[in-house]
């Protein structure tokens, strides 16, 4: 028993001595966590350099866009071919993808050798050989009669400008084919395939093996957004935010980036970590000075590294009694399969003895232990370096998503990872240590990169089909210049109908006289009250106007809510509520006893007989109070004041918010003769020549006309541009068949149009995995403010997803892109239609004045115009295009409905006083 213990102790001591000897000798190959964190940050810097337009030309890590923009979502289906070039064998595959809800697929493959004369010959021979292999495969599988799309896995760095094109940058691994570098490999393969007239194959996608691996694993696990190859070569890819990829146009969505990390360090960035053995190996390679990171990691080189180390140690008398065999002097005699065998847990030492004996080295027990440890250090360093670069990618992904903790999956393939007994375990352990805030699942690719190429092709097919459906849904929102001119001309016709006595009664655009006959001239002064009713809130204001050199307007206001039950209750309840709010404000300001002149902004269509009489034509914007339509709202307000019997007010003017907007801007710019509201509702007013207003007596001077253009189209004149979504929104509204133009252009309805489109696209399986959530079924859930937020140029898709999540819509990155596109189509059409209507007004003003060129200012208010990131620009561009002889200045109104009402009251008082004199 004692003898056994003594023997075990001797062996342990012997092993420790040999390990210490090798550790001392290969000290530089053993990397601490601090060194690995440093490598990680160096690689992060290289990624940024590779993504930048200006820095990419000098970057070693090329960060090549793959034009793969989407991962599999499970709805792919069909038959696809794939060829896989770049490993130790050529592979041809047939992949059947089933849309059965189980994400199942079937793979048939055939393997072909890679003769040296082909992979180190000329380009024509290589591509002819690939085409011949594919033809043989199709004959074997009885596929020659079928027209099938082909995915081409080509595992070398290529510069792509689209999915089906790739220019080879450089050969790597053991390939060295002449005349292929700097040419498009897809067109070379197509030429070779065209020689075979009996097959019809279309090369649909060029894919790197790393991308193929990510796609294969992504089909099984939708969290997979990184692909990693550790085999003959090494590389990684991942899904990067488009906004960070300077080399590709567009900021929307994500694209898979093929890092080509094998070249990391080619600029000297890893020189402090490279050993004399790395340098010697590099000098003897096919591509000295290139792919230096790959030469420290991949299975093509690790066996050779071990050989160089053993050779030097032997020459220094540290192994095999200093006796070097011819085999040890021969390049390539130790391969990765030998390293893996020597590192096996139990039989490793026996394997080591056998392998070394085959090399004529006659090893002692000590030699076997030392050689096994050399293998361990070389392969462990490979796993460490790989883990450091992968940790950099994972950190970038997490930071892109702005997450404190991230769950993700890495799809992985390659002979070294698959067959080495310890490699996978070591890699996983180090990655988790370097990025503790990432929960990483490593998923081994079952069917290799060939299936991935087929899946990239399948995804591209799916996206092309989806794109057609989305384009078809949004096509009616794309208005040509001719269509917009037609809208402008129809609006002009309707304006004329509204002004004429004989057609006014049947006109949809009512062209209501406001009896506002002048704009501010700067002499207005005094204290005025203003009421503002036009939405879900009601405001009371005290406005102090000063004239002369110290001309100014001071305002004090209070906002009161109007509950839904009052908006849709009786007229008496509504006006009693308004008077209650006025009483609260007067008390709050301490002016209950003063009889002040009052301007009432009432932002609903009214027919006026004078400036202080306004008969409500019809409610809009969600109001439905009874016994108001056809009544004078000023009388209703006076009645409510009398009922309360607490105070008295001098109601001078009832005005529309659009008129208030024009007056506010007119106070600053005398050239302002048009007011536009683009907010909850949509409307325009303008100063019309009295001679053109047939429904009002007198021909001298001008009067402001409140067009009430929201009802444009109620007679069916713009039915040709109304979509099925517009009709659904109209039918579900409080006033079906009315305010049709407003329902296509105003903030109150745009969100609802978007919701209807999203429901339709979801039913077609193009959004939200075909699932219509409860929240999406709710009318009004998609408010117009969300359009403004979603369309903001500064907003990343991640934030768009968060907005959609707030709405209970669980969206993918692709969903977010589609939602953003839908919002853009709806809001752009709204701005263009609004611009077409405004162009009709400015053209009318130009003709009224009889000038060749008109200079005019439009006062504008409304949240849609003010807050939407693109609405104002598109509207202005449309006006410029449709009314080229008019120079239109757009001026934002500062509180048109409050300050404007006070100014109208002040102007009315001034004109009244002048009239009395």
Catalytic positions are 539, 603, 657
Question: What is the rounded distance in angstroms from the CA atom of residue 269 to the CA atom of residue 392?
Answer: 15
Minimal CA–CA distance to 318: which of 279, 264, 373? 373
Q: How many residues does the chain have?
A: 917
Question: What is the rounded distance in angstroms from the CA atom of residue 122 to the CA atom of residue 327?
Answer: 32
What is the phi/psi pair of residue 228, to 5°? -140, 130
Question: What is the rounded distance in angstroms from the CA atom of residue 690 to the CA atom of residue 358?
Answer: 111
CB 643 within 8 A of CB 826: no
Largest CA distance in the chain: 133
Vertex 226 angle, CA 169 and 271, to 5°: 55
Residue with tokens 């002009």: 492
Tokens of 545: 């106007």
Q: What is the rounded radius of gyration, in angstroms, for the C-alpha atoms of the chain?
A: 38
Tokens of 649: 């007010």
Tokens of 850: 């009889």
Minimal CA–CA distance to 226: which of 244, 209, 241, 213? 213
> Do β-strands 147-154 and 78-85 pair in parallel, antiparallel, or remain unpaired?
parallel
Give SS3 for 345. coil
Tokens of 119: 């992979």
Question: What is the rounded distance in angstroms from the CA atom of residue 722 to the CA atom of residue 144?
Answer: 49
Residue with tokens 């197509």: 190
Minimal CA–CA distance to 445: which of 418, 472, 482? 418
Tokens of 400: 């892109």
Minimal CA–CA distance to 441: which of 432, 433, 430? 432
DSSP E strand boundaries for 163-296:
165-168, 200-207, 224-230, 234-241, 254-258
CB 606 within 8 A of CB 614: yes
Question: What is the rounded distance in angstroms from the CA atom of residue 432 to the CA atom of residue 422?
Answer: 16
Spell out the long-range contacts of 592-597 with Cβ–Cβ below 8 A and sequence spacing 24 or more: 592/646, 592/647, 593/647, 594/527, 595/648, 595/649, 595/650, 596/527, 596/528, 596/529, 596/542, 596/649, 596/650, 597/526, 597/528, 597/529, 597/650, 597/652, 597/905, 597/906, 597/909
């Amino acid at each position: 028993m004692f003898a056994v213990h003594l023997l075990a102790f001797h062996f342990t001591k012997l092993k420790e001595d040999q390990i210490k000897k090798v550790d001392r000798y290969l000290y530089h190959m053993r990397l601490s966590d601090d060194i690995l964190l440093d490598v990680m940050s160096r690689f992060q810097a290289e990624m940024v350099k590779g993504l930048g337009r200006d820095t990419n030309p000098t970057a070693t890590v090329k960060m090549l866009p793959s034009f793969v923009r989407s991962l599999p979502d499970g709805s792919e289906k069909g038959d696809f071919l794939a060829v896989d070039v770049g490993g130790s064998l050529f592979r041809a595959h047939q992949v059947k993808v089933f849309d059965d809800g189980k994400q199942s697929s079937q793979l048939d493959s055939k393997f072909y050798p890679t003769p040296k004369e082909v992979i180190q010959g000329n380009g024509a021979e290589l591509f002819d050989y690939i085409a011949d292999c594919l033809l043989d495969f199709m004959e074997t599988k009885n596929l020659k009669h079928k027209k099938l799309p082909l995915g081409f896995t080509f595992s070398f760095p290529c510069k792509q400008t689209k999915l089906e094109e790739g220019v080879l940058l450089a050969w790597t691994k053991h390939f060295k084919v002449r005349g292929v570098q700097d040419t498009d490999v897809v067109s070379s393969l197509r030429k070779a395939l065209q020689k075979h007239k009996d097959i019809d194959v279309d090369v649909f996608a060029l894919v790197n093996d790393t991308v193929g691996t990510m796609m294969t694993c992504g089909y099984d696990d939708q969290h997979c957004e990184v692909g990693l190859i550790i085999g003959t070569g090494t590389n990684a890819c991942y899904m990067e935010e488009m906004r960070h990829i300077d080399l590709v146009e567009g900021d929307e969505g994500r694209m898979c980036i093929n890092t080509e990390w094998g070249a990391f360090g080619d600029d000297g960035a890893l020189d402090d970590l490279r050993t004399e053995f790395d340098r010697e190996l590099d000098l003897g390679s096919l591509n000295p000075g290139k792919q230096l990171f790959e030469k420290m990691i991949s299975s093509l080189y690790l066996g050779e590294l071990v050989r160089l180390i053993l050779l030097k140690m032997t020459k220094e008398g540290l192994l095999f009694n200093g006796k070097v065999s011819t085999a040890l002097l021969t390049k390539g005699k130790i391969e990765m399969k030998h390293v893996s065998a020597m590192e096996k847990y139990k039989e490793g030492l026996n394997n080591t003895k056998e392998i070394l004996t085959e090399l004529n080295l006659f090893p002692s027990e000590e030699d076997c232990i030392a050689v096994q440890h050399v293998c361990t250090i070389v392969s462990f360093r490979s796993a460490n370096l790989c883990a450091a670069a992968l940790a950099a990618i994972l950190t970038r992904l997490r930071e892109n998503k702005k997450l404190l903790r991230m769950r993700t999956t890495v799809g992985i393939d390659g002979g070294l990872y698959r067959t080495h007994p310890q490699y996978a375990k070591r890699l996983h352990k180090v990655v988790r240590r370097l990025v503790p805030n990432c929960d990483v699942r490593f998923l081994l690719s079952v069917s290799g990169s060939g299936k991935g190429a087929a899946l990239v092709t399948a995804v591209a097919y799916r996206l092309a089909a989806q794109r057609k459906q989305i384009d078809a849904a949004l096509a009616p929102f794309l208005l040509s210049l001719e269509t917009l001119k037609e809208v402008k001309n129809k609006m002009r016709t309707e304006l004329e109908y509204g002004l004429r006595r004989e057609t006014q009664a049947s006109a949809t655009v009512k062209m209501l006289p406001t009896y506002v006959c002048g704009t501010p001239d700067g002499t207005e002064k005094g204290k005025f009250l203003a009421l503002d009713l036009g939405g879900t809130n009601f405001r009371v204001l005290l406005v102090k106007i000063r004239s002369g050199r110290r001309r100014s307007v001071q305002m004090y206001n209070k906002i009161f809510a109007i509950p839904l039950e009052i908006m849709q209750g009786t007229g008496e309840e509504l006006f009693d509520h308004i008077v209650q709010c006025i009483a609260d404000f007067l008390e709050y300001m301490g002016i209950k006893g003063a009889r002040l002149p009052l301007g009432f902004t009432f932002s609903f269509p009214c027919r006026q007989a004078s400036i202080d009489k306004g008969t409500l034509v019809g409610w809009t914007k969600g109001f439905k109070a009874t016994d108001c339509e056809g009544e004078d709202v000023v009388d209703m307000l006076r009645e409510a004041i009398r009922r309360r019997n607490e105070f008295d007010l001098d109601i001078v003017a009832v005005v529309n918010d659009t008129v208030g907007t024009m007056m506010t801007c007119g106070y600053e710019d005398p050239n302002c003769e048009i007011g536009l509201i683009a907010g909850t509702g949509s409307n325009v007013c303008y100063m019309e020549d009295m001679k053109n207003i047939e429904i009002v007596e007198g021909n001298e001077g001008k009067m402001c006309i409140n067009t009430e253009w929201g009802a444009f189209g109620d007679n069916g004149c713009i039915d040709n541009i109304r979509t099925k979504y517009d009709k659904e929104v109209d039918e579900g509204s409080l006033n079906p068949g009315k305010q049709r133009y407003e329902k296509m252009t105003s903030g109150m309805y745009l969100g609802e149009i978007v919701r209807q489109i999203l429901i339709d696209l979801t039913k077609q399986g193009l959004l939200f995995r075909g699932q219509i959530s409860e929240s999406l079924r709710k009318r009004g859930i998609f408010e117009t403010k969300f359009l403004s937020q979603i369309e903001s140029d500064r907003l990343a898709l991640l934030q768009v997803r968060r907005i959609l999540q707030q709405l209970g819509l669980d969206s993918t990155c692709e969903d977010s892109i589609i939602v953003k596109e839908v919002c853009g189509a709806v809001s752009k059409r709204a701005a263009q239609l609004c611009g077409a209507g405004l162009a009709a007004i400015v053209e009318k003003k130009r003709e009224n004045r009889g000038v060749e060129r008109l200079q005019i200012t439009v006062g504008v208010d409304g949240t849609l115009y003010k807050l939407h990131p693109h609405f104002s620009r598109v509207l202005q561009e449309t006006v410029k295009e449709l009314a080229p002889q008019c120079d239109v200045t757009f001026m934002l109104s500062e509180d048109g409905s409050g300050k404007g009402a006070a100014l109208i009251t002040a102007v009315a008082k001034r004109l009244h006083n002048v009239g009395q004199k």
